[in-house]
Structure 1
């Protein structure tokens, strides 16, 4: 029998937020369900892409904002 998992549960699996029993359940299903394994691989790729995103502005952007704000401070 192929067990289905919610999108949320798969994401929790990728972030290691599931109890050990549920984690083992998913791992067993991944071994026998190529569609689930493919979906999980897509989620893993998305997770890695999100982790690589820049979380702070570049120096050029910061300098531009500061220069813009200085223009309002001048009389």
Structure 2
């Protein structure tokens, strides 16, 4: 009997957070359930999109943080 897997199970599988036995069960379920396979491919695509996202803050964000830090002046620098 094939176990029923949830969306959360697939997310854990995509991020390699499942155990080897669970991997085998998920892979079997993916080979038998086209809807589950479609969800899996969608999660892979979403992960790829998120991994390729912004890796550093914009110049505007950095300047805003620096300006705020100067205005609050919680920890003055001793010269």
Task: Say how many residue pairs are matched.
Answer: 71
Please state how far the C-alpha of 1:61 moved relative to its aligned partner.
4.4
Please state how far the C-alpha of 1:3 moved relative to its aligned partner.
3.2
- Partner of 1:4, secondary structure, is coil
Please state how far the C-alpha of 1:44 moved relative to its aligned partner.
0.7
State TM-score, norm by structure 2: 0.71
- Asked if 1 retains the 8 angstrom alpha-carbon contact of 2:12 and 2:18, the reply is yes
Q: Partner residue of 2:48? A: 48
- Asked if 1 retains the 8 angstrom alpha-carbon contact of 2:2 and 2:25, the reply is no
- By relative contact order (CA 8 Å, sep 6+), the higher-ranking structure is 2
Q: Partner residue of 1:39? A: 39
Distance 1:24 1:2 in 2: 11
Distance 1:18 1:3 in 2: 14
State TM-score, norm by structure 1: 0.74
Distance 1:18 1:2 in 2: 17
Give the number of the structure whose residues are more often helix, by fraction: 1
In the TM superposition, what are the counterparts of 1:51-62 in structure 2 within 5 Å? 51-59=51-59, 61-62=61-62
